[in-house]
Amino acid sequence: MQKTALITGAAQGLGEIISGQLLAAGYRVVMTDANQSGVEAAAKALSDDTARVMALKLDVLDKQQFIDVQEAVANAWGPVDVLVNNAAMTPTTSLFDITPEEFSQVVDINLRGTFLACQVIGKTMMERGTGRIINLASLAGQMGGVAAGAHYASSKAGIVTLTKIFARNLAGKGVTVNAIAPGPVDLATVREKVPADKLEHIIQNVIPVQALSDPAFIGQMVVMLASDGAATVTGATWDINGGMFMR
């Protein structure tokens, strides 16, 4: 039976790439984003097969929208088997320039959004006795970041802890919860946010392997963690950072 994966923040960047990797692995893919026109365009670019790819608007700050999206997917394809929490803001505002409003916005979208998704869809998975949740954390949440803002780093640190909490609570219910913590990734969005000279300095002098991480590989890791064979892998944060953080 074909399984269904739901990805948040899928209109561009890593979310779009993860969606493509899951589609290639045989999943039906629900691409969601607050940017409805953007996610619809991304879904169409990925595949014209509406029996395998669906685009839905989803504001991760709104719990009811998670409930509504889950119901829409269930009516069309059945339950969500795999949840990928990717939606995030990634500002690089300097520490003493972050306003209270910006801090709250970033933490709400990144951390609260992940919490609501795990709460709503994780509960349904628990009731079904099966499911996979993969949360996108970040190297910034483990060591404070290289270029990311303090609010972004703080939210991603919270995701690492939240992953453990949901993993512990769902472990006996057939549901695994893991996180992936990328360092700098070779994405257009990264190159847009970090000046070229600063990025080159990071690559050559900060990243031990002297290369940005491959986003397609991150998508492949999502596929691996979503697989049936990953049933005993839970509560872990998987590092993809070029050796910047070792433990």
Would you list the DSSP string of 159-218? HHHHHHHHHHHHGGGTEEEEEEEE-SB--HHHHHHS-HHHHHHHHHHTSTT-SPBPHHHH
pLDDT for residue 51: 97
The whole-number average pLDDT for the span 133-161 is 94
Residue 109 DSSP label: I
pLDDT band at residue 139 using 50, 70 and 90 as cut-offs: very high
Could you read off the pLDDT of 65-113 as tens digits, one per residue? 999 999 999 999 999 999 999 999 999 899 999 999 999 999 999 999 9
pLDDT for residue 87: 98
Residue 214 DSSP label: P
φ/ψ region of 9 (left if φ > 0, alpha if ψ in -120 to 50, else beta) reads: left
Catalytic position from the list 88, 152, 212, 239:
152
pLDDT at 161 over 90: yes
Q: Reply yes or no on whether 27 is catalytic.
A: no
What is the rounded average pLDDT for all residues in the chain? 96
CATH, range 4-237: 3.40.50.720
Q: What is the rounded CA–CA span in Å between residue 188 and residue 210?
A: 18
Could you read off the pLDDT of 178-203 as tens digits, one per residue? 999 999 999 998 888 788 998 899 99
Q: What is the rounded CA–CA span in Å between residue 146 and residue 225?
A: 27
**178 pairs with which residues across the strands?**
134
